[in-house]
Amino acid sequence: MNLRPRQHTDMLVTVAVALFVTVGALVALVRGEGPGRYDALPFVILVLTCGALHFRTTHPVTVGVLTLAGTAAYYLLSATDGPLLLVFAVALYAVSAAGHLLVAVVLAALALGGVGFGSLHKANPPIDGISLVLMTGWLVAAVAIGVVSRQRAAYLREAEERVAGEERLRIARELHDVLGHTLSVIHVQAAAALHRLERDPAQGAEALRTIKDTSREALTEVRAALGVLRERGEAAPTRPAPGPSLARLPELAERAERSGLTLRTESVGQARALPAGIDAAAFRIVQESVTNTIRHARARAVLVRVEYGERGLTLCVRDDGVARPPVPQGDGSGIRGMRARAEEAGGTFSAGRDSQGGFRVDAALPYDGERLTA
């Protein structure tokens, strides 16, 4: 039998409750509780009432009504006092957990009213005042636990949706950085190939090879970024793409040089192993800065300065191109994306015209989450 997890759980709970109730009724019968007669009808009602419990998640209100009616019929017809009330309590919890709070309250009130009415109009009532108070407490607890369970499920769904949204945003940012940088390089190389192909076929062919290599690397990174959307359990790629890291700065410099841009790096302080999130954010900030320089600055050189401090990593990316107009904090997906990466890592970010000409990007990323100043 191939049951889904929820159906499997429903079946287990139903069987467990049915066994407990049936054993309790049989024990009461063996002990001779009640007038001493035995009728098959109450046990048929008991079995049917327990069986209805299996459908409590798909039809909670119907099951709540049926279990209340079955429990009332059992106690009216049975000579023994079995624990069938437990079935109604479980059904009451299901009704409340499904969001039908008013129905649950009405069912509980009907049950308590019926028990109280029966106790008042019998010479030897089967339940006294203390037992009625205890029964009230059990039914109220069943309804309250159902409400709490529903609220907890709603909170978990909201948390899952929030995590999924953050993951989609992260993937979108990764794709923006990868594709933006790669397409900028391809654009420059394609323009060079068209210009040089007739005059210098060798240089034109080299530009085309650069386009081929760059596009292949970009496809690999895109597949890696989208791989997290695959269903879990699917086999991982045999050759995963390298993740974003400052260790890939030489590769970034090589791409920039193929576009006619000289990229020079400086490292200050004792290099150290960085947390994965800080390492990725730092590389993406540098990559986006270089991409913006290729697109907009008409620069000849870029300086990337990486300083390893005691509390965090400091980045400075400066080009010598034509200074771009100041970009407001809320405009420009590239600037906004870099700022978001820095702030998510607990750091700070700034970008604007350099006092020495060109454009400058500064970021400070803490090692331990403590805020730094760029």
- The string of DSSP letters for 305-321 reads EEEE-SSEEEEEEEE-S
Q: What is the pLDDT of residue 329?
A: 45
Distance CA 374, CA 362 (A): 6
Residues 6+ apart with CB under 8 A from 108: 92, 139, 140, 142, 143
Q: What is the pLDDT of residue 306?
A: 93
Q: In terms of Cα–Cα distance, which of 122, 125, 147 is closest to 135?
A: 125
- Which amino acid is residue 287, in one-letter code? Q
Distance CA 82, CA 63 (A): 20
Which fold, 242-374? Heat Shock Protein 90 (3.30.565)
Secondary structure (3-state) at 364 = strand
Which DSSP category does 358 fall into? S
Q: What is the pLDDT of residue 5?
A: 61
Question: What tokens were used for 79?
Answer: 């000579």
In which residue ranges of the chain is CATH 3.30.565.10 found? 242-374
The DSSP annotation for 265-315 comes to: EEEES---PPPHHHHHHHHHHHHHHHHHIIIII--SEEEEEEEE-SSEEEE
Residue 319 β-bridge partners:
302
Q: Residues 123, 125, 128, 133: is their CA dihedral positive or negative?
A: negative
Q: What does the pLDDT look like over 20-35, one tens digit per residue?
A: 888 877 777 777 655 4
Q: What is the pLDDT of residue 254?
A: 83
Q: What does the pLDDT look like over 36-80, one tens digit per residue?
A: 445 678 888 888 888 888 888 889 999 999 999 988 888 888 777
For residues 252 and 287, the answer to whether their CB atoms sit within 8 Å is yes
The DSSP annotation for 327-351 comes to: PPTTS-HHHHHHHHHHHHTT-EEEE
Q: What is the separation of C-alpha 310 from the centre of its chain, rounded to a whole number of angstroms?
A: 34
Give the mean model confidence (pLDDT) for residues 230-244. 51
Residues 6+ apart with CB under 8 A from 276: 243
Q: What is the pTM of this model?
A: 0.51
